[in-house]
Amino acid sequence: MAKETKTIVLLLILGIVAYLIAYLFNAFISQHLSPADYGDFSIAIRTISVISLVLLLGTNISSVKYLSTYFNSENRDHIIQFIKWNLGIVSKTSIICIVIFILFYLLLAILHIYNIKDFTTHHFSIYVLWLAPFSAFYLLLASFILSDKKSILSFIITKIALNILLSLLLYITIYYTEVSVHFILILILLFIAFCVIIIGELYLVSKILTNNNISLKLKPDKSFKQPIKKTWMLESLKVTSGQIVFSLISVADLFIIEWIHPSEHATGYYAAMLVIVNILWVVPSSITSFLAPRLNPMFEHKRYKKLQNLINSINSINLPVLVILTLLIIIFSDYLLSFFGKDYIQAQTPLVILCIAYFLLAISLSNARILMFLESKKLMRINSTELIILVTTSIVLTYYFGILGMSFSVLITNIYKATMLFKSVKKILPIKPFTII
């Protein structure tokens, strides 16, 4: 357990580093854009995430579930076929997506030519849709790396590398070419960053396969059971529905504020709040990434005592750190908001409420990971109900109380989700989700 604890602590440190990089990057962007434009930028980034998850069809999650088992058992035929199958699925969905986007952009061009709607007046999220296939491959390749129990490397790729590269590209472009920050520049640099990281991921995946004496050029032996692909597809589809609902939850609040709130700056203020409280999500996400590739083998062999020990190790680090971070955000809320601009300080009270809401969700993340692998249908029902509660309460509360109302809506929603996750795990497994010893 000492080695596992060291890994968990290292992931915690990396999680904090990832947060600081993301925080500074967003603060930098917000200072070069108006609150309204920064809000549009935040919506656009989350739109890419939602579409990329649709394109993945749950393959990034099923990869961690199945591929980790195949690596563990050294089943080369299944590894080869599973990776090929994943790449084939995402390639097909990406091609379909690109064709749809081409037709969509042609329609926008026609509307522009006939003076019906100026092409440059659409929401920024419209112009970033074509980046979704790149984001999908970026996430899929990272899941391959995580499946080989390289949780630290996978975390660096998904949570740190993109923001660092994008920040460097922005810095070089702005300070050496004197070009001002605008949507087109961000779009181009984001495309370059995705391409560079995907190339790096391909190299890492090929190295992992080489170390395991595997070549994708090899054909499986005749004993390989082709019908297993149906099992992979069914499992991926089960997961993807839950993923899509979860991603819709992550963008619903911003879209509702954009739609309902009379001030166009409100979305930018709320986006800054999300960046600040995101540390309460990044930290447990980084720590529990250690758990993900180990869950399925433990479930298959019913190693519940080992699972309990892992959860205890995670909680003993996760819970105290989350309490400290939550208190720091509450105490220094105005200071943290001031980095985005002096106008953002008016969101101090909503930030405190949102911070408490995220704390409740953060302490339940390990439960969510367990359900994702063990009872994806149950998690889907919880997420669907969460989305319904969020939408119905936030529309009313945001209309009357603005972003403060949205914060209370998220708090109500997260109280429900944290409670249901705890009850569900307790019901299906003989473990204690919140113990530390």
pLDDT in tens, 306-351: 777 777 777 788 889 899 999 999 999 999 999 998 899 999 999 9
Which H helix or E strand runs over 321? helix 304-331
What tokens appear for 210 in the block? Answer: 């080489």
pLDDT at 266 (0 to 100): 94
pLDDT at 219: 60
Residue 437: inside a domain: no
More confident residue, 335 or 434: 335
Q: Of 252-266, 284-298, 309-323, which gets the smallest average pLDDT?
A: 284-298
Q: Distance between CA atoms of 190 and 67, rounded to whole angstroms?
A: 29
**Residue 180 domain-assigned?**
yes
Residue owning tokens 């109280």: 415
119-160 residue pLDDT tens: 888 888 888 889 999 999 999 999 888 887 777 788 888 888
Alpha helix (H) residue ranges in 114-182: 124-127, 132-147, 151-155, 162-177
pLDDT at 224 over 60: no
- Predicted model pTM: 0.84
For residue 433, being part of any structural domain is answered with no
Q: What is the pLDDT of residue 433?
A: 64
CA distance 48 to 51: 5
Counting the structural domains of the chain, the total is: 1
Question: pLDDT, tens digit, for every residue of 359-418?
Answer: 998 988 878 878 877 777 888 889 899 999 999 999 999 999 999 999 999 999 999 999
- Which range of residues forms the domain containing residue 117? 2-428
Picking from 105-109, 206-210, 269-273, 387-391, which range would have the lowest pLDDT averaged per residue? 206-210
CA distance 255 to 345: 22
Q: What share of the chain has pLDDT > 90, as a percent?
A: 36
The Cα–Cα gap between 362 and 322 comes to 8
pLDDT exceeds cutoff 90 at 81: no
Is 284 among the domain residues? yes
* Domain assignment of residue 159, yes or no: yes
The answer to whether 384 and 245 have CB atoms below 8 angstroms apart is yes
In a domain, 436, yes or no: no
Asked, for residue 435, whether it belongs to a domain, the answer is no
Does residue 14 sit within a domain? yes
Highest mean predicted confidence (pLDDT) among 115-119, 264-268, 291-295, 325-329: 325-329
d(CA 400, CA 147) in angstroms, rounded, equals 46
Rounded CA separation 416/397 (Å):
17
What local confidence, expressed as pLDDT, does residue 318 receive? 82
Q: The tokens 């926008």 sit on which residue? A: 108
